[in-house]
Amino acid sequence: MTKQEKVNFVINTLYKLYPEIPIPLDHKDPYTLLIAVLMSAQSTDVRVNKITPLLFERADNPYDMIKLSVEEIREIIKPVGLSPMKSKGIHGLSQILIDKHNGDVPKTYEALEELPAVGHKTAAVVLSQAFGIPAFPVDTHIHRLMYRWNLTNGKNVVQTEKDAKRIFPEELWNDLHLQIIWYGRQYSPARGWDLEKDIITKTIGRKSVLDEYYKKKKK
């Protein structure tokens, strides 16, 4: 297969598997998505989805959020981990949204990345999922799969994101990043990986990755 045929195979397979693409984090507007994504750092979406309703019951907008103390926020979100940093970030960014953006979530990387506890990936998720602006947020699943599929040699997520944006058509970015995440969780996980179920890696996978897999299977 040529590189382009491989890319087309990935796109077509993912659209067959995920014609409807669920959003992993529960939210109702850009602000609640921003908070949910911030909370998901080094945690799982399942855990975040259990905790956000408790937080949003108390405050689902920046004006109500700043009425809570950092300590109160921390107490609610403790189960998701890293709560000292995340609670400060949530309180701090809510204040900045009020002071600088009339309480609205901004629609640019620059403005989003100026907010406390908001990095490039969080900004990309918000732009893509809240506003439909083309972005390609790269998480650990996407980083792993793009390498397994020999579509990047990226040693880090920055390079992987550049490669993903270069090879995939921009109008598909917002769908594809979610489809790859779901595929990674269901068919190509880091642990307990069964290549027989992973049709994409089995078909176009990097030779060194496949060799390593079969070597381990023999042991």
Topology, domain 30-131: Endonuclease III; domain 1 (1.10.340)
99 as an active site residue: the answer is: no
What is the spatial distance between Cα 156 and Cα 49, in angstroms, rounded to a whole number?
Answer: 28
pLDDT in the model for residue 219: 77
Q: Which of 80, 79, 66 is nearest to 38 (CA)?
A: 80
Average pLDDT, integer, range 136-146 = 95
pTM flag (> 0.75): yes
Q: Pick the catalytic residue from 6, 86, 121, 163.
A: 121
Q: Does residue 155 register a pLDDT over 90?
A: no
CA distances from 110 to 73, 78, 115 (A): 26, 29, 9
Mean pLDDT of the chain: 96
Tell me if 3-20+137-218 shares its fold with 30-131.
Answer: no
Please, are residues 91 and 68 in contact by the beta-carbon 8 Å criterion? yes
pLDDT at residue 50 in the model: 98
> Tell me: the pLDDT tens digits for 48-66?
999 999 999 999 999 999 9
Q: Are 114 and 124 in contact (CB under 8 A)?
A: no
Would you state the pLDDT for residue 142? Answer: 96
* Mean pLDDT of the 15-43 span: 96
pLDDT at 190: 94
Percentage above 90 pLDDT, the chain: 96
Domain ranges of the chain: 3-20+137-218, 30-131
Annotated active-site residue in 139, 163, 198, 211: 139
pLDDT band at 4 (very low <50, low <70, confident <90, very high): very high
Q: What percentage of the chain has pLDDT greater than the value 70?
A: 100
Question: Could you tell me the pLDDT band of residue 208, with boundaries at 50, 70 and 90?
Answer: very high
Q: Give tens-digit pLDDT for 72-126.
A: 999 999 999 999 999 999 999 999 999 999 999 999 999 999 999 999 999 999 9
Active site residue 139: yes
Q: What would the mean pLDDT of 182-207 be, rounded to a whole number?
A: 97
Position 154 confidence tier, pLDDT thresholds 50, 70, 90? confident
Instruction: Give the confidence band of 217 by pLDDT, cuts at 50, 70, 90.
Output: confident
CATH architecture of residue range(s) 3-20+137-218: Orthogonal Bundle (1.10)
**Which pLDDT belongs to residue 218?**
86
